[in-house]
């Protein structure tokens, strides 16, 4: 029996976006953001010499272009296999628009020499696209269903858990955007010690770098508590193996994220912990969005793969 391909295309898109976010963090950590001083070309060509900072910056651009092509393929597959699902079509168009806007902001960061707000918006849009792509991957894959609209009707799923997971995912998103602001303000070492900040539990909040860095730490504690509480709730009340796995993964990721945050400070923003810090934040957001989507109530009757294949034929 033929199976729809677009759920797998969305999954690949999620993995591709995670790789792109990791590469973007490496670009910044290696101070390669302006290695190509022009955009969309690099020193006036699309095939520059791939050495030094140019390697990381231009590789980042190539992977970003590949992501646009990958999501375009997923959108085309939706038109071939699930054209009747209007929510899916609209979501794909929204994703393509988000990618294009995010690409423009990427160009602006270069042309205007890395302004803090533009660079932060660039990363924030990337995390927003990751959340959308994860939502589409989860919604089109749940229980082997190719095109079930999220949250439609009633079912055995727990709407309360879905809302809680969505709120925690939003907290992670907000924390990631704040972390991007800390990074682009060069405030990563505004508190050069850990777990204290300037030797105090609450440092003197005398300038923007210290305020943003300390706020990032405070929100990190809130996020960690929220994620661990969510994971504990799933472990105690849910029997679904997938939900328990996702909750356990989120708990492990948030603990790793805290450790990487401390390591980033203690190593004076070394490339490896800083880059992994961004990757783990993105993976944490994705796992929570996936958990929220799988927890949403399902339709009492949903089309199976056979029905989807028939409709697409």
163 lies in the same domain as 264: yes
190 lies in the same domain as 273: yes
Question: For the chain, what is the domain count?
Answer: 2
2 lies in the same domain as 123: yes
Ramachandran angles phi, psi of 270, nearest 5°: -65, 150
Q: What is the pTM assigned to this prediction?
A: 0.89
Q: In whole angstroms, how far apart are CA 251 and each of 173, 233, 280, 294?
A: 16, 12, 12, 17
117 lies in the same domain as 170: no
Residues lower than pLDDT 50 in the chain? 1, 143-149, 151-156, 300-313
Q: What is the pLDDT of residue 157?
A: 61
- The CATH number of the domain where 214 resides is what? 1.20.120
58 lies in the same domain as 145: yes
Q: What is the pLDDT of residue 142?
A: 66
- What are the tens digits of pLDDT across the range 41-95? 999 999 999 999 999 999 999 999 999 999 999 999 999 988 888 999 999 999 9
CA 8 to chain CA centroid, Å, is 18
164 lies in the same domain as 61: no
Q: Which residues pair with 200 in a beta bridge?
A: 197
DSSP state of 2: -
277 vs 279: CA distance, rounded Å: 6
Cα torsion at 150, 151, 153, 156 (round to 10°)? Answer: 110
Count CB-CB contacts under 10 A for residue 288: 31
167 lies in the same domain as 292: yes
What range does the domain containing 305 cover? 1-150+301-313
Q: What is the pLDDT of residue 3?
A: 64
Q: What is the pLDDT of residue 84?
A: 85
């Amino acid at each position: 029996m033929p199976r729809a391909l677009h759920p797998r295309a969305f999954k690949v898109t999620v993995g591709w976006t995670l790789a792109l976010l990791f590469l973007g963090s490496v670009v910044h950590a290696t101070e390669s953001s302006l290695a190509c001083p022009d955009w969309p070309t690099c020193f006036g060509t699309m095939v520059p010499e791939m050495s030094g900072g140019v390697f990381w910056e231009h590789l980042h651009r190539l992977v970003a272009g590949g992501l646009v092509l990958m999501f375009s393929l997923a959108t085309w597959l939706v038109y071939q296999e699930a054209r009747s699902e209007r929510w899916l079509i609209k979501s794909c168009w929204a994703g393509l628009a988000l990618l294009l806007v995010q690409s423009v902001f990427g160009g602006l960061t270069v042309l205007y020499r890395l302004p803090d707000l533009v660079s932060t918006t660039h990363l924030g849009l990337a995390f927003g696209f990751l959340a959308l792509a994860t939502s589409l991957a989860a919604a089109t894959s749940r229980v082997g269903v190719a095109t079930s609209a999220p949250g439609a009707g009633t079912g055995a799923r727990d709407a309360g858990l879905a809302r809680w997971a969505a709120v925690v995912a939003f907290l992670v998103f907000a924390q990631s955007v704040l972390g991007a602001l800390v990074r682009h303000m060069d405030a990563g070492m505004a508190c050069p010690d850990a777990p204290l900040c300037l030797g105090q539990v609450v440092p003197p909040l005398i300038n923007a770098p210290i305020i943003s860095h300390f706020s990032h730490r405070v929100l990190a504690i809130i996020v960690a508590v929220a994620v661990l509480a969510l994971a504990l709730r799933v472990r105690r009340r849910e029997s679904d193996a997938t939900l328990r796995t996702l909750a356990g993964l989120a708990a492990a990721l948030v603990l790793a994220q805290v450790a990487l945050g401390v390591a980033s400070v203690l190593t004076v923003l070394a490339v490896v912990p800083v880059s992994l810090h961004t990757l783990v934040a993105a993976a944490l957001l994705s796992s929570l969005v996936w958990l929220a989507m799988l927890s949403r109530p399902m339709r009492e009757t949903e089309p199976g793969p056979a029905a989807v294949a028939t409709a697409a034929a």
